[in-house]
Amino acid sequence: MHPKILSKADSLKDSMVETLTRLCRIPAVSPHNGGTGEEDKINELRKIIDELGLSHKAKIHIERVDDSQSKTGSRPSLFLEYPGRKSQRLCILTHVDIVPEGDLSLWSVDPFNPVIKGSRLYGRGVSDNGTCLVSSLYALKSVIDSGFEPEYTILLAFVADEEMGSHYGLEPLMERDLFRSDDLVIVPDSGNDSGDFIEIAEKAMLKLNFTVTGKQVHASLPHTGINACRVANMLAYEVDEALHKAFPNENKMFEPPFSTFEPTRRFANVSAVNIVPGRERFDFDCRVLPEVSLDEAINLVKNICRDIEIKTGAKIELEVDRTDSAQPTSPDSEAAKLLVKSIREVLHVEPVTGGVGGGTFAAFFRRKNIPAVVWSQECDGVAHQPDEFTEINYIVNNAKVFALMMAGE
Protein backbone atom coordinates (compact mmCIF):
# COMPACT_ATOMS: atom_id res chain seq x y z
CA MET A 1 0.00 0.00 0.00
CA HIS A 2 1.19 3.57 -0.72
CA PRO A 3 0.57 5.57 2.50
CA LYS A 4 1.84 8.70 0.75
CA ILE A 5 -0.98 8.45 -1.83
CA LEU A 6 -3.62 7.96 0.87
CA SER A 7 -2.26 10.88 2.86
CA LYS A 8 -2.34 13.07 -0.23
CA ALA A 9 -6.01 12.15 -0.84
CA ASP A 10 -6.84 13.13 2.75
CA SER A 11 -5.15 16.50 2.28
CA LEU A 12 -7.28 17.20 -0.80
CA LYS A 13 -10.65 16.75 0.93
CA ASP A 14 -11.59 20.43 0.98
CA SER A 15 -10.61 20.81 -2.65
CA MET A 16 -12.78 17.80 -3.55
CA VAL A 17 -15.79 19.38 -1.87
CA GLU A 18 -15.14 22.70 -3.60
CA THR A 19 -14.90 20.99 -7.00
CA LEU A 20 -18.07 18.96 -6.46
CA THR A 21 -19.93 22.08 -5.34
CA ARG A 22 -18.72 23.97 -8.39
CA LEU A 23 -19.83 21.27 -10.82
CA CYS A 24 -23.20 20.72 -9.18
CA ARG A 25 -24.07 24.39 -9.55
CA ILE A 26 -24.42 23.65 -13.27
CA PRO A 27 -27.64 21.73 -14.03
CA ALA A 28 -26.83 19.13 -16.67
CA VAL A 29 -30.33 17.83 -17.35
CA SER A 30 -31.09 16.21 -20.70
CA PRO A 31 -32.81 18.43 -23.30
CA HIS A 32 -35.23 15.50 -23.63
CA ASN A 33 -36.15 16.00 -19.97
CA GLY A 34 -36.56 19.77 -19.87
CA GLY A 35 -32.91 20.77 -19.50
CA THR A 36 -30.12 22.23 -21.58
CA GLY A 37 -27.76 19.25 -21.62
CA GLU A 38 -24.16 18.72 -20.54
CA GLU A 39 -22.29 21.34 -22.58
CA ASP A 40 -21.73 23.91 -19.81
CA LYS A 41 -20.74 21.27 -17.29
CA ILE A 42 -18.26 19.64 -19.67
CA ASN A 43 -16.69 23.05 -20.33
CA GLU A 44 -16.34 23.66 -16.60
CA LEU A 45 -14.90 20.18 -16.10
CA ARG A 46 -12.30 20.89 -18.77
CA LYS A 47 -11.22 24.01 -16.86
CA ILE A 48 -11.00 22.04 -13.61
CA ILE A 49 -8.77 19.40 -15.22
CA ASP A 50 -6.35 22.13 -16.26
CA GLU A 51 -6.43 23.75 -12.80
CA LEU A 52 -5.69 20.41 -11.11
CA GLY A 53 -2.62 19.96 -13.28
CA LEU A 54 -3.98 16.81 -14.90
CA SER A 55 -3.57 18.08 -18.46
CA HIS A 56 0.19 17.56 -18.29
CA LYS A 57 1.05 14.38 -20.23
CA ALA A 58 -2.65 13.55 -20.67
CA LYS A 59 -4.54 13.20 -23.93
CA ILE A 60 -7.89 14.96 -23.60
CA HIS A 61 -10.63 14.97 -26.18
CA ILE A 62 -14.39 15.42 -26.44
CA GLU A 63 -16.58 12.93 -28.26
CA ARG A 64 -19.88 14.25 -29.60
CA VAL A 65 -23.14 12.54 -30.50
CA ASP A 66 -25.61 14.40 -32.71
CA ASP A 67 -28.78 15.51 -30.95
CA SER A 68 -31.08 18.01 -32.67
CA GLN A 69 -32.66 18.98 -29.33
CA SER A 70 -29.34 20.05 -27.83
CA LYS A 71 -28.52 23.77 -27.93
CA THR A 72 -25.28 22.93 -29.77
CA GLY A 73 -26.74 20.16 -31.93
CA SER A 74 -24.73 17.49 -30.11
CA ARG A 75 -24.09 15.94 -26.70
CA PRO A 76 -20.48 15.99 -25.38
CA SER A 77 -18.55 13.35 -23.43
CA LEU A 78 -15.02 14.08 -22.22
CA PHE A 79 -12.16 11.55 -22.21
CA LEU A 80 -8.87 11.96 -20.34
CA GLU A 81 -6.10 9.39 -20.92
CA TYR A 82 -2.98 9.50 -18.75
CA PRO A 83 -0.01 7.22 -19.51
CA GLY A 84 1.15 4.58 -17.05
CA ARG A 85 3.85 1.94 -16.86
CA LYS A 86 1.54 -0.47 -18.68
CA SER A 87 -0.32 0.18 -21.90
CA GLN A 88 -3.27 -1.76 -20.46
CA ARG A 89 -5.87 0.74 -19.30
CA LEU A 90 -7.80 1.16 -16.10
CA CYS A 91 -11.03 2.87 -17.19
CA ILE A 92 -13.29 4.71 -14.75
CA LEU A 93 -16.56 5.91 -16.26
CA THR A 94 -18.85 8.41 -14.58
CA HIS A 95 -21.74 10.41 -16.01
CA VAL A 96 -22.07 14.17 -16.04
CA ASP A 97 -25.83 14.40 -16.56
CA ILE A 98 -28.35 14.48 -13.72
CA VAL A 99 -32.09 14.13 -13.22
CA PRO A 100 -34.27 17.24 -12.69
CA GLU A 101 -34.76 18.58 -9.19
CA GLY A 102 -38.45 17.62 -9.10
CA ASP A 103 -40.81 19.32 -6.64
CA LEU A 104 -38.84 22.22 -5.15
CA SER A 105 -41.20 22.39 -2.16
CA LEU A 106 -39.73 19.08 -0.96
CA TRP A 107 -36.20 20.49 -0.79
CA SER A 108 -34.82 22.23 2.29
CA VAL A 109 -31.90 23.64 0.24
CA ASP A 110 -31.44 25.08 -3.22
CA PRO A 111 -30.70 21.94 -5.28
CA PHE A 112 -28.24 23.81 -7.49
CA ASN A 113 -26.39 25.66 -4.75
CA PRO A 114 -24.89 22.79 -2.71
CA VAL A 115 -24.43 23.38 1.01
CA ILE A 116 -22.61 21.57 3.79
CA LYS A 117 -24.59 20.42 6.83
CA GLY A 118 -22.48 18.55 9.32
CA SER A 119 -20.64 15.73 7.52
CA ARG A 120 -22.79 15.95 4.39
CA LEU A 121 -22.95 17.95 1.19
CA TYR A 122 -26.50 18.52 -0.11
CA GLY A 123 -27.55 19.24 -3.70
CA ARG A 124 -28.87 17.65 -6.88
CA GLY A 125 -26.27 15.35 -8.41
CA VAL A 126 -23.81 15.40 -5.52
CA SER A 127 -24.34 11.67 -5.03
CA ASP A 128 -25.47 10.59 -8.50
CA ASN A 129 -22.87 10.78 -10.01
CA GLY A 130 -20.93 13.78 -8.75
CA THR A 131 -19.14 12.14 -5.83
CA CYS A 132 -17.42 9.51 -7.95
CA LEU A 133 -16.79 11.86 -10.85
CA VAL A 134 -14.79 14.07 -8.51
CA SER A 135 -13.22 11.07 -6.75
CA SER A 136 -11.86 9.73 -10.04
CA LEU A 137 -10.20 13.09 -10.81
CA TYR A 138 -8.64 13.40 -7.39
CA ALA A 139 -7.52 9.79 -7.36
CA LEU A 140 -5.35 10.53 -10.38
CA LYS A 141 -4.16 13.78 -8.84
CA SER A 142 -3.25 11.96 -5.59
CA VAL A 143 -1.13 9.46 -7.47
CA ILE A 144 0.64 12.07 -9.62
CA ASP A 145 1.20 14.59 -6.82
CA SER A 146 2.68 11.84 -4.65
CA GLY A 147 5.36 11.30 -7.27
CA PHE A 148 4.14 7.94 -8.54
CA GLU A 149 3.64 6.83 -12.10
CA PRO A 150 0.34 4.95 -12.50
CA GLU A 151 0.76 1.21 -13.00
CA TYR A 152 -1.91 1.27 -15.69
CA THR A 153 -2.67 3.82 -18.36
CA ILE A 154 -5.64 5.67 -16.87
CA LEU A 155 -8.74 6.49 -18.88
CA LEU A 156 -11.26 8.73 -17.15
CA ALA A 157 -14.49 9.06 -19.11
CA PHE A 158 -17.13 11.67 -18.21
CA VAL A 159 -20.13 10.65 -20.26
CA ALA A 160 -23.42 12.26 -21.31
CA ASP A 161 -27.02 11.01 -21.25
CA GLU A 162 -26.80 8.18 -18.73
CA GLU A 163 -29.98 9.18 -16.93
CA MET A 164 -32.11 9.01 -20.11
CA GLY A 165 -30.79 5.72 -21.46
CA SER A 166 -27.39 6.59 -23.00
CA HIS A 167 -28.81 7.00 -26.52
CA TYR A 168 -26.72 10.18 -26.91
CA GLY A 169 -23.86 8.93 -24.78
CA LEU A 170 -22.23 5.56 -24.21
CA GLU A 171 -24.48 3.50 -26.50
CA PRO A 172 -23.23 5.14 -29.75
CA LEU A 173 -19.76 5.72 -28.29
CA MET A 174 -19.31 1.96 -27.85
CA GLU A 175 -19.38 1.68 -31.65
CA ARG A 176 -16.35 3.95 -31.96
CA ASP A 177 -12.74 2.87 -31.43
CA LEU A 178 -12.61 4.12 -27.84
CA PHE A 179 -12.36 0.96 -25.74
CA ARG A 180 -10.26 -2.20 -25.86
CA SER A 181 -10.90 -5.85 -25.05
CA ASP A 182 -8.27 -5.84 -22.26
CA ASP A 183 -9.55 -2.67 -20.54
CA LEU A 184 -10.20 -2.93 -16.81
CA VAL A 185 -13.55 -1.15 -16.48
CA ILE A 186 -14.88 0.37 -13.27
CA VAL A 187 -18.32 2.01 -13.19
CA PRO A 188 -18.80 3.84 -9.86
CA ASP A 189 -22.55 4.35 -10.18
CA SER A 190 -24.00 2.03 -7.56
CA GLY A 191 -23.06 0.99 -4.06
CA ASN A 192 -23.87 1.24 -0.37
CA ASP A 193 -22.80 3.01 2.80
CA SER A 194 -20.40 0.30 3.92
CA GLY A 195 -18.73 0.10 0.52
CA ASP A 196 -18.70 -3.69 0.61
CA PHE A 197 -20.93 -4.44 -2.41
CA ILE A 198 -19.58 -4.96 -5.93
CA GLU A 199 -22.15 -5.27 -8.70
CA ILE A 200 -21.25 -7.86 -11.34
CA ALA A 201 -24.68 -8.44 -12.95
CA GLU A 202 -27.72 -6.42 -13.96
CA LYS A 203 -31.30 -7.23 -14.75
CA ALA A 204 -32.82 -6.52 -18.13
CA MET A 205 -34.86 -3.33 -18.45
CA LEU A 206 -38.17 -2.49 -20.04
CA LYS A 207 -39.56 1.02 -20.19
CA LEU A 208 -43.17 0.92 -21.32
CA ASN A 209 -44.99 4.06 -22.41
CA PHE A 210 -48.76 3.83 -22.87
CA THR A 211 -50.91 6.37 -24.70
CA VAL A 212 -54.65 5.90 -24.31
CA THR A 213 -56.89 7.86 -26.68
CA GLY A 214 -60.60 8.07 -25.94
CA LYS A 215 -63.03 10.90 -26.56
CA GLN A 216 -63.02 14.10 -24.50
CA VAL A 217 -66.44 15.38 -23.36
CA HIS A 218 -68.04 17.44 -20.62
CA ALA A 219 -68.10 15.57 -17.32
CA SER A 220 -71.88 16.00 -17.11
CA LEU A 221 -72.24 13.92 -20.29
CA PRO A 222 -69.74 11.07 -19.81
CA HIS A 223 -71.86 8.61 -21.77
CA THR A 224 -71.13 10.56 -24.96
CA GLY A 225 -67.37 10.11 -24.71
CA ILE A 226 -64.72 7.57 -23.82
CA ASN A 227 -62.98 8.36 -20.53
CA ALA A 228 -59.27 7.84 -21.22
CA CYS A 229 -58.48 8.22 -17.51
CA ARG A 230 -60.70 5.26 -16.59
CA VAL A 231 -59.28 3.17 -19.43
CA ALA A 232 -55.72 4.03 -18.34
CA ASN A 233 -56.51 3.04 -14.76
CA MET A 234 -57.88 -0.29 -15.94
CA LEU A 235 -54.90 -0.85 -18.21
CA ALA A 236 -52.31 -0.03 -15.56
CA TYR A 237 -53.96 -2.35 -13.05
CA GLU A 238 -54.22 -5.27 -15.47
CA VAL A 239 -50.65 -4.90 -16.75
CA ASP A 240 -49.34 -4.71 -13.19
CA GLU A 241 -51.26 -7.80 -12.06
CA ALA A 242 -50.53 -9.88 -15.16
CA LEU A 243 -46.78 -9.27 -15.22
CA HIS A 244 -46.32 -10.13 -11.54
CA LYS A 245 -48.44 -13.26 -11.90
CA ALA A 246 -46.74 -14.47 -15.09
CA PHE A 247 -43.15 -13.96 -13.94
CA PRO A 248 -42.74 -14.81 -10.23
CA ASN A 249 -39.17 -16.12 -10.70
CA GLU A 250 -36.57 -15.45 -8.01
CA ASN A 251 -32.79 -15.26 -8.27
CA LYS A 252 -30.76 -14.82 -5.08
CA MET A 253 -27.91 -13.09 -6.95
CA PHE A 254 -30.03 -9.96 -7.22
CA GLU A 255 -31.46 -7.44 -4.79
CA PRO A 256 -34.41 -7.58 -4.85
CA PRO A 257 -34.36 -11.24 -5.97
CA PHE A 258 -37.42 -10.90 -8.24
CA SER A 259 -38.44 -8.93 -11.31
CA THR A 260 -40.02 -5.54 -10.65
CA PHE A 261 -42.85 -4.10 -12.77
CA GLU A 262 -43.59 -0.61 -11.52
CA PRO A 263 -46.11 1.97 -12.77
CA THR A 264 -44.23 5.25 -12.41
CA ARG A 265 -44.77 8.45 -14.40
CA ARG A 266 -48.27 9.80 -15.11
CA PHE A 267 -48.58 12.75 -17.47
CA ALA A 268 -50.99 15.67 -17.00
CA ASN A 269 -54.28 15.34 -18.86
CA VAL A 270 -57.02 17.99 -18.65
CA SER A 271 -57.01 21.43 -17.05
CA ALA A 272 -60.39 21.36 -15.26
CA VAL A 273 -62.28 18.95 -13.03
CA ASN A 274 -65.39 18.98 -15.23
CA ILE A 275 -63.67 17.58 -18.32
CA VAL A 276 -63.62 13.88 -19.15
CA PRO A 277 -60.11 13.39 -20.55
CA GLY A 278 -59.71 12.05 -24.05
CA ARG A 279 -56.00 11.27 -23.74
CA GLU A 280 -53.85 9.71 -21.03
CA ARG A 281 -50.16 8.84 -20.97
CA PHE A 282 -48.31 6.84 -18.35
CA ASP A 283 -45.13 4.76 -17.96
CA PHE A 284 -43.96 1.50 -16.41
CA ASP A 285 -40.37 0.87 -15.33
CA CYS A 286 -39.55 -2.86 -15.34
CA ARG A 287 -36.33 -4.49 -14.10
CA VAL A 288 -36.46 -8.09 -15.26
CA LEU A 289 -34.41 -11.11 -14.18
CA PRO A 290 -32.14 -12.48 -16.95
CA GLU A 291 -34.00 -15.80 -17.05
CA VAL A 292 -37.31 -14.10 -17.89
CA SER A 293 -38.08 -13.66 -21.60
CA LEU A 294 -38.55 -10.00 -22.49
CA ASP A 295 -40.36 -11.08 -25.66
CA GLU A 296 -42.91 -12.98 -23.58
CA ALA A 297 -43.39 -10.03 -21.24
CA ILE A 298 -43.88 -7.61 -24.14
CA ASN A 299 -46.34 -9.93 -25.90
CA LEU A 300 -48.33 -10.28 -22.68
CA VAL A 301 -48.63 -6.49 -22.43
CA LYS A 302 -49.61 -6.17 -26.09
CA ASN A 303 -52.39 -8.75 -25.63
CA ILE A 304 -53.77 -6.84 -22.65
CA CYS A 305 -53.76 -3.64 -24.71
CA ARG A 306 -55.73 -5.32 -27.51
CA ASP A 307 -58.27 -6.80 -25.08
CA ILE A 308 -58.91 -3.44 -23.42
CA GLU A 309 -59.22 -1.70 -26.78
CA ILE A 310 -61.98 -4.16 -27.74
CA LYS A 311 -63.66 -3.82 -24.35
CA THR A 312 -63.64 0.00 -24.17
CA GLY A 313 -63.43 1.34 -27.72
CA ALA A 314 -60.34 3.36 -26.81
CA LYS A 315 -57.14 3.29 -28.85
CA ILE A 316 -53.95 2.24 -27.03
CA GLU A 317 -50.43 2.88 -28.32
CA LEU A 318 -47.48 1.12 -26.68
CA GLU A 319 -43.87 2.27 -26.98
CA VAL A 320 -41.21 -0.14 -25.70
CA ASP A 321 -37.61 0.70 -24.80
CA ARG A 322 -35.78 -2.52 -23.96
CA THR A 323 -32.31 -3.29 -22.68
CA ASP A 324 -31.51 -6.97 -22.58
CA SER A 325 -29.35 -8.34 -19.79
CA ALA A 326 -25.73 -9.22 -20.42
CA GLN A 327 -23.55 -12.03 -19.16
CA PRO A 328 -22.37 -11.31 -15.59
CA THR A 329 -18.78 -10.28 -14.96
CA SER A 330 -16.77 -13.00 -13.26
CA PRO A 331 -15.78 -12.19 -9.67
CA ASP A 332 -12.39 -13.64 -10.67
CA SER A 333 -11.85 -11.06 -13.41
CA GLU A 334 -8.74 -8.88 -13.16
CA ALA A 335 -10.82 -5.75 -12.63
CA ALA A 336 -12.81 -7.32 -9.80
CA LYS A 337 -9.71 -8.65 -8.03
CA LEU A 338 -7.95 -5.30 -8.25
CA LEU A 339 -11.01 -3.54 -6.86
CA VAL A 340 -11.45 -6.04 -4.01
CA LYS A 341 -7.85 -5.57 -2.92
CA SER A 342 -8.15 -1.79 -2.82
CA ILE A 343 -11.47 -1.83 -0.95
CA ARG A 344 -9.96 -4.06 1.72
CA GLU A 345 -6.99 -1.72 2.15
CA VAL A 346 -9.03 1.47 2.41
CA LEU A 347 -12.31 0.49 4.06
CA HIS A 348 -11.25 -2.66 5.95
CA VAL A 349 -14.34 -4.57 4.86
CA GLU A 350 -14.74 -7.84 2.96
CA PRO A 351 -16.49 -7.14 -0.37
CA VAL A 352 -19.35 -9.28 -1.67
CA THR A 353 -20.59 -9.56 -5.24
CA GLY A 354 -24.13 -9.61 -6.60
CA GLY A 355 -26.64 -8.15 -9.05
CA VAL A 356 -28.86 -5.06 -9.18
CA GLY A 357 -31.86 -3.79 -11.09
CA GLY A 358 -29.84 -2.49 -13.98
CA GLY A 359 -29.18 0.77 -15.73
CA THR A 360 -25.42 1.36 -15.42
CA PHE A 361 -22.73 1.65 -18.07
CA ALA A 362 -21.42 -1.81 -17.19
CA ALA A 363 -24.00 -3.64 -19.31
CA PHE A 364 -22.67 -2.00 -22.49
CA PHE A 365 -19.21 -3.42 -21.82
CA ARG A 366 -20.46 -6.85 -20.84
CA ARG A 367 -22.28 -7.13 -24.16
CA LYS A 368 -18.91 -6.52 -25.83
CA ASN A 369 -17.31 -9.24 -23.64
CA ILE A 370 -15.34 -6.62 -21.71
CA PRO A 371 -15.64 -7.40 -17.98
CA ALA A 372 -16.89 -4.43 -15.98
CA VAL A 373 -17.56 -4.01 -12.28
CA VAL A 374 -19.76 -1.44 -10.55
CA TRP A 375 -18.79 -0.08 -7.15
CA SER A 376 -18.76 2.98 -4.94
CA GLN A 377 -19.20 3.89 -1.34
CA GLU A 378 -22.37 5.94 -1.53
CA CYS A 379 -25.33 6.92 0.59
CA ASP A 380 -28.19 4.43 0.33
CA GLY A 381 -31.44 5.65 -1.18
CA VAL A 382 -30.63 9.33 -1.80
CA ALA A 383 -30.15 9.37 -5.59
CA HIS A 384 -32.95 11.21 -7.45
CA GLN A 385 -34.53 12.23 -4.11
CA PRO A 386 -35.23 15.68 -2.65
CA ASP A 387 -32.34 16.81 -0.44
CA GLU A 388 -29.94 14.45 -2.21
CA PHE A 389 -26.66 14.35 -0.28
CA THR A 390 -23.30 12.68 -0.03
CA GLU A 391 -21.11 12.01 2.97
CA ILE A 392 -17.98 14.06 2.44
CA ASN A 393 -15.76 11.24 3.70
CA TYR A 394 -17.14 9.01 0.95
CA ILE A 395 -15.68 11.33 -1.69
CA VAL A 396 -12.26 10.87 -0.13
CA ASN A 397 -12.66 7.11 0.43
CA ASN A 398 -13.64 6.53 -3.18
CA ALA A 399 -10.66 8.58 -4.34
CA LYS A 400 -8.37 6.44 -2.18
CA VAL A 401 -9.75 3.18 -3.60
CA PHE A 402 -9.40 4.41 -7.17
CA ALA A 403 -5.91 5.76 -6.46
CA LEU A 404 -4.64 2.43 -5.11
CA MET A 405 -6.08 0.71 -8.19
CA MET A 406 -4.29 3.22 -10.41
CA ALA A 407 -1.04 2.61 -8.56
CA GLY A 408 -1.48 -1.13 -8.94
CA GLU A 409 -1.82 -1.70 -5.23
Active site residues: 97, 162
Helices 13-24 & 131-145 angle (0-180, nearest 10): 140
Give the three-state DSSP class for 100. Answer: coil
Contacts of 195 by beta carbon, 8 Å cutoff, 6+ apart: 343, 347, 349, 375, 376, 377, 394, 397, 401
Alpha-carbon gap, residue 391 to 377, rounded angstroms:
9
Q: Which neighbouring-strand residues pair with 321? A: 207
Give the number of C-alpha atoms closer than 13 A to the C-alpha of residue 126, restricted to the C-beta side: 34
Buried b / exposed e over 288-321, threshold 16 CB at 10 Å, is bbbebebeebbebbeebbeebeeebebebebeee
DSSP 110-164: -TTS-EEETTEEESTTIIIIIHHHHHHHHHHHHHHHTTPPPSSEEEEEEES-TTT
Contacts of 388 by beta carbon, 8 Å cutoff, 6+ apart: 111, 122, 123, 124, 125, 126, 127, 128, 382
The C-alpha R_g of the chain, in whole angstroms, comes to 23
| Phi and psi torsions of 96, nearest 5° | -95, -20
